[in-house]
Chains A and B, each alone.
Chain A
Amino acid sequence: MDSFGALNMTCEWTNKLHAFHDGELAASECERVATHAAGCAVCALELDRLSRTARFLKAASIPAMRPMATLRFRERIAADNTARLARWLTAAAAAVILGCSTAMLSMQSAPAHSPRIVTAASTNDSLASIMLTVVPGNEFASAVESVDPLTLAVARDAASVRDDGRE
């Protein structure tokens, strides 16, 4: 049979041939496919094509990696570590500078009565962790403008409870 002419001929077993060729079938099924292929010209040709293609692909001898490439990798790891250390040091330095600046500013502009930060916690998730600055006299000086009345009431209660506890 002309192999080119049979290129597109199929058999219902064709799908199984690939798994058979790849050694992915169970032993019992292997036997069935082998028996079928022995008597089916289409499957025999397909198996032969699979083998020839595999042999061609495997014959491509891939050259080994140059030793220099391994050295380059070591250099890149070292460079990556240096960059990571530099990033960490920059972040640490920035944090120290920010901390010092904040401390100096607060020392310079500290009012007679320092505001207290009150956290109004609520069991309701939507109201949780609201930070409000409270000035003496229990007034909310810089309450978040968008806070709804209910939130504000909860925060005010919490503030007064906290104040009661402290003073």
Chain B
Amino acid sequence: MNGDSNESRTGSRVNELESVLLERARRGDDAAFESLAELHAPALHRLAFSLAGNASDAEDMVQETLLGAYQRLKAFEGRSSFKTWLSRILVNQTARLRRSKRVREVVKATDFSEASQALLKGMKVTGLQDESRNSEIRMDVMAALSGMSDEFRTVIVLREMEGLSYAEIAGVLDVPQGTVESRLFRARAELKHLLKEYL
């Protein structure tokens, strides 16, 4: 309970700081925009990595997203949160990148590491903090996501990995909440099919 109220106080301080920085950035203060970028870059990078599947593309996507936001900052009307707005730009950048690369891999679930297989079968995985094991699981997750269509992968990443609510996902994808629900349902069915060896 106490932890929750501390968290909400921290959250509101971050929001206040973000509003101040946004206001200054919109008046042309580049240092304020850089602070905003630093505030959001880690989360954007995590999302970009999950969508792109590799660090190099993820960093490029974050760069493009932040530059795009910098150039269009005056167009941001505050109808959604700044984070949602940035995520929307990034998702659009990713779709463009994937279209240009035409990436879609065929997943061979039998190639998954023992740790991933154990996780999917609901078994206990020992030594999860081991770096090489983490790296194996990460590669397996990326392989599974890579086998999905862009539309479905995006909604799965936003929900399962970023923990966004349906309303927040609707804001990022600029679609009604009902569309999010049905898309998520179909995405999970596709993922279930990809991972059927273990589920």
Question: Which positions in A face B, CB cutoff 8 Å?
Answer: 3-4, 7, 15, 18-19, 22, 24, 48-66, 69-70, 72-74, 76-77, 80-81
Dominant secondary structure at the B interface? helix
Give the interface segment out of B6-14, B64-72, B79-87. B64-72
Q: Are B45 and A57 in contact (CB under 8 A)?
A: no
Say yes or no: A49 contacts B199, CB within 8 Å: yes
**CB–CB A76/B63 < 8 A:** yes
B96 proximal to A (CB < 8 A): no
Q: Do A64 and B42 contact each other (CB < 8 Å), given the known contacts A48-B122, A52-B120, A77-B30? A: yes
- B-side residues, CB < 8 A to A, are 30, 33-34, 37-38, 41-42, 45-46, 49-50, 55, 58-59, 62-63, 66-67, 70-71, 115-116, 119-122, 125, 128, 134, 137-138, 140-142, 156, 159-161, 165-166, 181, 184-185, 188, 191-192, 195-196, 199
Cβ B161 vs Cβ A57 within 8 A: yes
Contacts of A49 in B (CB 8 A): 192, 199
For B30, the chain A residues whose CB sits under 8 A away are: 77, 81
Q: Give Cα A65 to B52, complex, Å.
A: 14
A-B contact pairs, 30 of them (CB 8 A): A4-B196, A4-B199, A15-B185, A18-B181, A18-B188, A22-B166, A24-B165, A24-B166, A48-B122, A49-B192, A52-B120, A54-B160, A55-B122, A56-B116, A56-B119, A56-B195, A57-B160, A58-B160, A59-B115, A59-B116, A59-B128, A59-B137, A60-B50, A64-B45, A65-B41, A65-B45, A70-B41, A73-B63, A74-B34, A77-B70
Complex CA gap A73/B63 in Å reads 6
A48 to B192, CA, bound (A): 12
> How distant is the Cα of A12 from the Cα of B141 in the complex, in angstroms?
30
CA distance A51 to B62 in the complex (A): 30
- Residues of B contacting A64 with CB < 8 Å? 42, 45
Residues of A within 8 A of B38 (CB): 70
Taking a contact as CB atoms under 8 Å apart, the answer to whether A59 and B67 are in contact is: no
Indicate whether A53 sits within 8 Å of B49 (C-beta atoms), given known contacts A4-B196, A58-B160, A76-B67.
no
Q: How far is the CA of A15 from the CA of B189 in the complex (A)?
A: 12
Q: Is the CB of A60 within 8 A of B62?
A: no
Chain B residues, Cβ within 8 Å of A81:
30
Q: List B contacts of A61 (CB < 8 A).
A: 134, 137-138
A57 to B116, CA, bound (A): 9
List, in ascending order, chain A residues with CB within 8 A of B58's CB: 65
